[in-house]
Amino acid sequence: MEVRAKKALGQHFLVDQGVAKAIVDALGADSPVRDVLEIGPGMGVLTQYLLPREDIDLRLVEIDPESVGYLLTHFAGMQGKLVEGDYLRLNMARFFPGPYRIIGNFPYNISSQIFFKILEDKDRVPEVVCMIQKEVADRIAEGPGSKVYGILSVLLQAWYDIEFLFSVKPGAFAPPPKVNSAVIRLRRNGREALGCDEKLFKTVVKTAFNQRRKTLRNALKPLLPDGFDASAPVFDLRAERLGVDDFVSLTNLLSA
CB of 182 to ligand SAH, least distance (A): 14
Q: Does 82 bind ligand SAH (CB under 6 A)?
A: no
Q: Is 12 in the site for ligand SAH (CB under 6 A)?
A: yes
Phi, psi values for residue 105, rounded to 5° = -90, 95
Q: Does 37 help bind ligand SAH (rule: CB under 6 A)?
A: no
The answer to whether 42 contacts ligand SAH (rule: CB under 6 A) is yes
- Residue 231 to residue 194: CA distance in whole angstroms: 24
Task: Report helix, strand and coil shares of the chain as percent, to nearest 5.
Answer: 40, 20, 40
Among 24, 26, 63, 154, binds ligand SAH (CB under 6 A): 63
Using the 8-state DSSP alphabet, how is residue 238 labeled? -
Q: Does 61 bind ligand SAH (CB under 6 A)?
A: yes
d(CA 210, CA 174): 35
Distances, alpha carbon 38 to alpha carbons 3, 164, 171, 194, 239, in Å:
18, 19, 23, 29, 34
Binding to ligand SAH by CB under 6 A, coded x per residue (else -) over 124-153, reads ------------------------------
Beta bridge partners of residue 39, listed in sequence order? 61
Nearest distance from C-beta of residue 63 to ligand SAH, angstroms: 4
Residue spans of alpha helices (H) in the chain:
17-25, 47-50, 65-74, 92-95, 111-120, 134-141, 151-159, 198-210, 216-219, 244-255
- For ligand SAH, the binding residue among 107, 183, 202, 254 (CB under 6 A) is 107
- Residue sitting closest to ligand SAH (CB): 40
Residue 251 Cβ, how far from ligand SAH at the closest point, in Å?
32
Task: Confirm or reject binding of residue 117 to ligand SAH (CB under 6 A).
Answer: no
Nearest-approach distance from CB 2 to ligand SAH, in angstroms: 11
Q: Which residues pair with 248 in a beta bridge?
A: none
Tell me which stretch binds ligand SAH (CB under 6 A): 103-111, 150-158, 182-190, 244-252. 103-111
Residues found near ligand SAH in the complex (CB under 6 A): 9-14, 39-42, 45-46, 61-64, 67, 86-88, 105, 107, 110
